Amino acid sequence: MKQNANWIFLFVFALISHVGLAQNQEVTGTVVDNTGLPLPGVNVIEKGTTNGTQTNFDGEFTLQVDNDAILVFSYLGMKEQQVTVGNKTSLDITLQPDTGQLDEVVVTALGIKREKKSLGYATQEVGGNEVSDVATQNFTNALSGKVAGLKVKSSGTMGGSTNVVIRGNASLTGSNQALFVVDGTPIINQNSNTNAQRTGGGGYDYGNAAADINPDDIESINVLRGAAASALYGERAANGVIIIETKRGQKNKGIGVTVRSSVMFSNADDETLPNYQQKYGAGYGPYYQSEDGYFNLSDVNGDGVLDETTPFTEDASFGAAFDPDRMIYQWNSIYPELDTYQQASPWDAAEYTPNDIWETGYTMINSVALDGGTDKSTYRVGFTNLDQEGALPNSSITRNNIKFSASHDLTDKFSVNSNFNFIKTDGKGRYGTGYDALNVMQSFRQWNQSNVDLYKQRDAYFATGSNITWNPNGPNNLTPIYTDNPYFTRYENYQTDTRNRYFGNINLNYQISDVFSVLGRFTFDTYSELQEERKNVGSVGVSGYSRFDNRVAEYNYDLILNFNKDLTDDLNLDGNVGFNLRRNEQSSIRASTNGGLNAPDFFALSNSKDPLNPPSEYEADQMLDGIFARASLGYLNTYYMEATMRRDRSSTLPSSDNTYYYPSISTSVLLSNIIDKDWLSFAKFRANYAQVGSGTDPYRVFNTYLVSAPFDGQGVASLNGTLNNLELKSETSKSFEVGLESSFIDNRLSVDFSYYNTRTEDQITPVPVSNATGYTRKLLNAGEIENKGFEVLLNGKPLQMDDFNWNVSVNWSRNRNEVISLTDGVDNLQLASLQGGVSINAAPGQPYGAIRGTDYVYDDNGSKIVNSDGYYETTDSNNNVIGNIQPDWNAGITNSFRYKNFRFSFLIDIQEGGDIFSLDTWYGMATGVYDVTAGINDLGNEMRAPLTGGADSGGIILPGVNADGSQNETRVPFDTYANPYGYARDANKGHVYDASYIKLRELSLTYDFSDKILEKLPFTNASISFIGRNLWIIDKNLPYSDPEAGLSSGNVQGYQSGAYPAMKQYGLNLRFNF
């Protein structure tokens, strides 16, 4: 690496000295802003050449130029200025501020660049630095809290998926994920997680494919929230679009080299881990063979006398109170390969609890980019390497990105530009998820013996390499019953995955005349991935190996004719007509061993114990042909009106009815051009209405059979559980939006306010039907959802002084979601049925994502009723609405400060409301894992002590009323798993928690090296930052866990099962420009 760096330096110096020879006149000067303050870092370029420099900290520059040179001065936030040098040797330049949004150009749908002031819809930009400064594996996480109306939720595992939803869930069962577009290329953002994984049944979270985008390449992000903004993208636009423009070379600029290096460490946040009780050991209660009922009896030491042993099979901590004087034959006494074989040990709480499994993880990102350009061409080459070690043992992700982009003017009128990305991602030891033995958190949070010392388990695994579990079938049958040694799980039952991805595009632009130009574009995004999962011989259940090979591709062909003409001095018309042909392809195969593995440590299909069953295959190609037109009229640079129309034809619909049209119309008025007030810098009113039509997934029209493994050589086939529909129509989302943008007092304060209302109708939905029809679901155009809400963006500059700036940015959004209707006869659509007897649902009159389960029974005053035994009455049915996943509102507050060369900023991310069901406490309270199950009762006694009826009694009195309305005074025991807190007696409702949080999401402190230092270094720019992420959960209501943790991206949210802790991340970021 060092040699490479030397090579780069040599190259750069050679180039600089070469350029230097051509100059023959020296110009010096100072650049100031309109208040007379010097501007450091202004780009000064000799027009038409690569010759240039930057101003120093005092706004001064010196440059060798030709006699007839024109200098171009540019600086972010200031208007560009060109000055002819002539015979002057000294220049004093004053740059005028770019008055707010007036001339800002933003990239909108299909890559069309528009002046922001003319847009009739809300957009919000995020700078590339804001996502690249924080070294995260998945850049989408770095958007959390930064954009109004954009909800970003990471599922919490290393490399896991992130749910990115704009303005709420608009689709009942389809994808609600925003569309990512990189330099005009729509990016596939599937997650290939199995349905079982998404509904808590176990499996790995392989992440969402948009995570492949390299944050270091991002120049800017523009979020198109409403359908009017994105209607030209067609059906996928209904969920909003995140447009990413990547960094490019600039014309007439020498070779620039940017090097960035960052390292972030991560540690589990204790606030999101269980607090274990340390008073009682293994067991469900006094149900076993010893005299006190807490231990089993077996002659472990071979002396012919029965010994007291841990009840090994019992994955709970409602056993005997710890007593270090009591010697018990525990798990380490029954494995002959251990030194402790046949030795009893004191009955005591574990010194090292499962929380000690968490190590310090790290993420290192190193990148180098070269860019430059001539008068006809630009180019940029970037390479980034990401190396991540997870905080669980034996977990890592490596990713290498290569990006090349270039543009070239073939003639004055004809230009071509292209970019090409290659990404290789390799994962190993991703965390198991959900209710599954491969998820170590399942036992840590739900089924744990508090006497088991984690480090002793670790040492036993490393000493023997075998599955020395605390949870065998018994002293004479050492096969594991429910839970493996957690280190065995991590080291022997790991997965690996690899993904090779190529995406990019080629654009051809031809300027036909002043009025017309045409753009031809081909974009592609294609990847192949392999996921391999292993379960070694000796594990709980059936050992095995499975592989999933998946190829996914999307191709888009666009041809767009643009026109732009001033019809009169005051009236401008611009627009486009074009077509978009989209082709999607997917082909996958999943093969698994059958009946287990023959030999240990050998993971191949050929090692299958029984003959292989047929692998499952999926193959689907999809075609969507769209034509569209857009026209925009501008009058007096003040009044704007825009309309679009698109026609799509989708192969996913019946061929007799697969074409659909949808329009949009939007308008904006620059009020500040009408109202002339000093305090008003800028004001714009905007309004729009849009429809977006969409097709569906392939294979929903014709009925098919599921062919499965033959029985004794006979073919086996069964009708699919969902009845398809030959008469499907397209679905439509209709939205309406108004907004007001304004800024005051020289742009010191700006406000952007939006209100929107979106209804998605005729949704193509697999509607559940009475199973007596022989089907579980029937595809129908049924269902309507409404999302409406407010978004507010506030930017303020409370302090602007010479050496000190303070900026505040606040975004706040509230989305109200309601399922308006399903179809006749169906009053609830179950999205997922989950372990614990709860389900996630959509029901008319309620927000999407109602959590249903068993509830308490309440009296008229809303008090919980207890039965005659003193336990809560619970409902028989699990149909009761006990929560909802939708939050009330979200907000993000960023404060940034600059003092001389120091910059400091922090982001506070807030969610209010939303519910979450915890399977972890549902089981963990019954198994006595958590500290609250071994507390002190109202009498000052141990809750778990027996009921005596006297002052020394254990047990608790549940707050509630008796059937007659009187206060409950009946004490119930708390000495077994059948206690009132856990699954045995509680209602599901008791484990629904408020998912609100306030988090210190990001914190960064940056030092920009001053020019004086830089003069002595070979850099043009350098900075060093300390970065922190998720350092502090300021407030939350969910105990022992992170309210953001979940299973996967997708529609099933509001459920935790074996949840992973939040990761505090902190580290350093270095950036140099040559």
Which of the residues 649 through 678 are near other proteins (CB under 8 A)?
649-655, 658
How many residues lie near other proteins (CB under 8 A)? 99
Binding of residue 837 to other proteins (CB under 8 A): yes
SS3 sequence of 594-646: EEEECCCCCCCHHHEEECCCCCEEEEEEEEEEEEEEEEEEEECCCEEEEEEEE
What is the SS3 assignment for 355?
Answer: helix
Joined tokens for residue 238: 């209904």
Binding of residue 514 to other proteins (CB under 8 A): no
The answer to whether the CB of 697 falls within 8 A of the CB of 722 is: no
Q: Residue 804 CB, nearest distance to other proteins (Å)?
A: 56
Binding of residue 542 to other proteins (CB under 8 A): yes
Give the Cα separation of 733 and 850 in Å (integer): 22
Stretch that binds other proteins, among 521-529, 734-742, 775-783, 939-947 (CB under 8 A): 775-783
Give the Cα separation of 1043 and 1037 in Å (integer): 8
Among 561, 680, 932, 961, binds other proteins (CB under 8 A): 561
Q: Residue 172 CB, nearest distance to other proteins (Å)?
A: 16
Stretch 777-796 residues interacting with other proteins (CB under 8 A): 778
Give the Cα separation of 743 and 672 in Å (integer): 9
Among 26, 827, 888, 1015, binds other proteins (CB under 8 A): 827
Give the Cα separation of 706 and 684 in Å (integer): 57
Binding of residue 832 to other proteins (CB under 8 A): no
Among 598, 830, 863, 1010, binds other proteins (CB under 8 A): 830
Joined tokens for residue 1044: 């953001």
Q: Residue 854 CB, nearest distance to other proteins (Å)?
A: 8
Among 64, 81, 879, 895, binds other proteins (CB under 8 A): 879
Stretch 375-414 residues interacting with other proteins (CB under 8 A): none
Stretch that binds other proteins, among 161-169, 190-198, 714-722, 1047-1055 (CB under 8 A): 714-722
Stretch that binds other proteins, among 206-214, 310-318, 360-368, 416-424 (CB under 8 A): 310-318
Distance separating the N- and C-terminal Cα atoms of the chain: 17
* Residues paired with residue 765 on neighbouring β-strands, in sequence order: 780
Binding of residue 699 to other proteins (CB under 8 A): yes
The answer to whether the CB of 997 falls within 8 A of the CB of 1033 is: yes
Site string for other proteins, 679-698 (x = CB under 8 A): -------------------x
Among 618, 661, 858, 902, binds other proteins (CB under 8 A): 618
Tell me which H or E stretch contains 166: strand 162-166
Tell me which H or E stretch contains 885: none
Binding of residue 717 to other proteins (CB under 8 A): yes
Q: Residue 978 CB, nearest distance to other proteins (Å)?
A: 7
Residue whose CB is less far from other proteins, 678 or 824? 824
Stretch that binds other proteins, among 40-48, 73-81, 476-484, 906-914 (CB under 8 A): 476-484
Q: Residue 444 CB, nearest distance to other proteins (Å)?
A: 19
Rounded to 5 degrees, what are φ and ψ at 225? -90, -40
The answer to whether the CB of 566 falls within 8 A of the CB of 572 is: yes
Among 48, 465, 541, 935, binds other proteins (CB under 8 A): 541
Binding of residue 483 to other proteins (CB under 8 A): no
Among 64, 500, 720, 821, binds other proteins (CB under 8 A): 720
Joined tokens for residue 913: 């409301």
Joined tokens for residue 455: 């480090």
Among 302, 304, 336, 611, binds other proteins (CB under 8 A): 611
The DSSP-derived string for 520-572 is: EEEEEEEEEEEEEEEE-TTSSS--EEEEEEEEEEEEEEEEEEEEEEESSSSEE
Q: Residue 723 CB, nearest distance to other proteins (Å)?
A: 5
Among 17, 35, 67, 718, binds other proteins (CB under 8 A): 718
The answer to whether the CB of 992 falls within 8 A of the CB of 917 is: yes
Stretch 881-910 residues interacting with other proteins (CB under 8 A): none
Residue whose CB is less far from other proteins, 652 or 817? 652
Binding of residue 196 to other proteins (CB under 8 A): no
Give the Cα separation of 995 and 981 in Å (integer): 20
Residue whose CB is less far from other proteins, 713 or 862? 713
Sequence-separated (6 or more) residues with CB below 8 Å from residue 3: none
Among 304, 336, 713, 950, binds other proteins (CB under 8 A): 713
Give the Cα separation of 945 and 925 in Å (integer): 17
Among 418, 546, 594, 757, binds other proteins (CB under 8 A): 594
What is the SS3 assignment for 764?
Answer: strand
CA distances (Å), origin 776, targets 100, 723, 724, 879: 56, 8, 11, 18
Among 323, 351, 619, 869, binds other proteins (CB under 8 A): 619
Site string for other proteins, 956-985 (x = CB under 8 A): ----------------------x-------
Burial degree of 95 (CB within 10 A; 0-12, 13-18, 19+): buried
Stretch that binds other proteins, among 4-12, 138-146, 198-206, 536-544 (CB under 8 A): 536-544
Q: Residue 528 CB, nearest distance to other proteins (Å)?
A: 18
